[in-house]
Each structure stands twice: as structure tokens, then as C-alpha cells.
Amino acid sequence: MVGYAPAIDTMRVLGIDPGSQTTGWGIVEGDGRRYKLVEFGSIRSPSTLSFPARLLRICNGLQEVVERHSPDACALEDAFLATNVKVSMKLGQVRGVALLVAERAALEIHEYSPRLIKQTVVGYGNAEKHQVQEMVRLLLSLKCIPSPHDAADALAVALCHFHHANFAEKLASTERRKPTRAARV
């Protein structure tokens, strides 16, 4: 057929940077080669609220984002070991809320370490925060760095997922094309 172009599947990813006071989120749409920013923001939970009330605020905020944008997948920053045990535990609880919201919405869930996110987005696993923010700006063709930095980090998580999901899909596609052992005999 003249002028026929196969439809390119696009995917919408919700990236989450969990935090007990500020949880960043970002929605990115793409086809594995090109990305487009849909929306980003943060859910602020003042320290004057009890911790359970902050968790509820984060839960409700993330649920509203999921309902508004209908993402296909959720990518979030994996837990890292903080020197303060209380901080690590609170971060784990925030991550649990984010995982629960994503699971309830039947989203594919993917977790990435902070080092892998930096490696993927910047090319260097020990990149500074401002380097990650600048690369997010460039990759999404934005005029300025997304603010607050928690939202920029969430967008970096979503971009990381696109890179790794695209790689995984190519690998799976290659495996599907390989003849089976029985077919080779």
C-alpha cells in the first residue's frame, strides 16, 4: 500500500520519586525512540501532619494522577539504604503506598536503583542532581528544568523505564525470532 505506515505503539509511564515530605511524579509518553512530557508535579505533605496523614495524602494524590492520565506502567525509584534507619523506614512506607496505588490500578510496576537511573539518563552513575535535571530538560525538550527537583527526578525514573523497557522488548523480540532447538534439528 502506498503511504501505509504501521501504527507505532506508544506507552504512557508514571515515574515516581517517593519522599515523605515531597513525592515527585511525572507522566511521559513515548514510543521508545521519542518522548513527550505529559505532566509533572509533586505531592507535598507538611511535617505538621501526622505520618499516617501524610501517607494518605500521597495515596490520594497518586490515585488522582493515575485516574487523570491512565498510564500503562509505573516506574519508581528503588529504596536505597540511608544512614538513618527512621528515614529508611519512612521512605519504605511511602514506596509501599506508591506500589499499592500502582497495583490497584493494574499498572506494570518497575523499580530502578538511583544509580541505574543516573547511569541511564546522564551516562554516569554518580551524576549530581543538577546533571540529572539538565538531561531531563534536554531529553524532553523543555525550556527550563522541571521544578521541584522531586518532579525532575520522577521524570528521570520514567525516562529510565523507557530505555530499559525498549531494550527488554527488543531482546524479547529477538528471542521470539530465534528458531527453537526442535526446529533446527
Active-site residues: which are they?
17, 77, 150
Do residues 151 and 37 touch, judged by C-beta distance below 8 A?
no
Per-residue pLDDT of 114-154, as tens digits, reads: 999 999 999 888 888 899 999 999 999 999 999 999 999 99
Do residues 153 and 40 touch, judged by C-beta distance below 8 A?
no
Query: Between 84 and 136, where is the model more confident?
Result: 136
Q: Residue 34: its pLDDT value, please?
A: 85
Say yes or no to pLDDT of 72 above 60.
Answer: yes
Mean pLDDT throughout 42-65? 96
CA angle 62, 68, 70 (to 5 degrees): 90
pTM of the model: 0.85
Interatomic CA distance for residues 104 and 53, integer angstroms: 20
| Cell triple for 58 | 500521597
Mean pLDDT, the chain, whole residue set: 86
State percent of the chain over pLDDT 70.
Answer: 83
Domains of the chain: 11-177 (3.30.420.10)
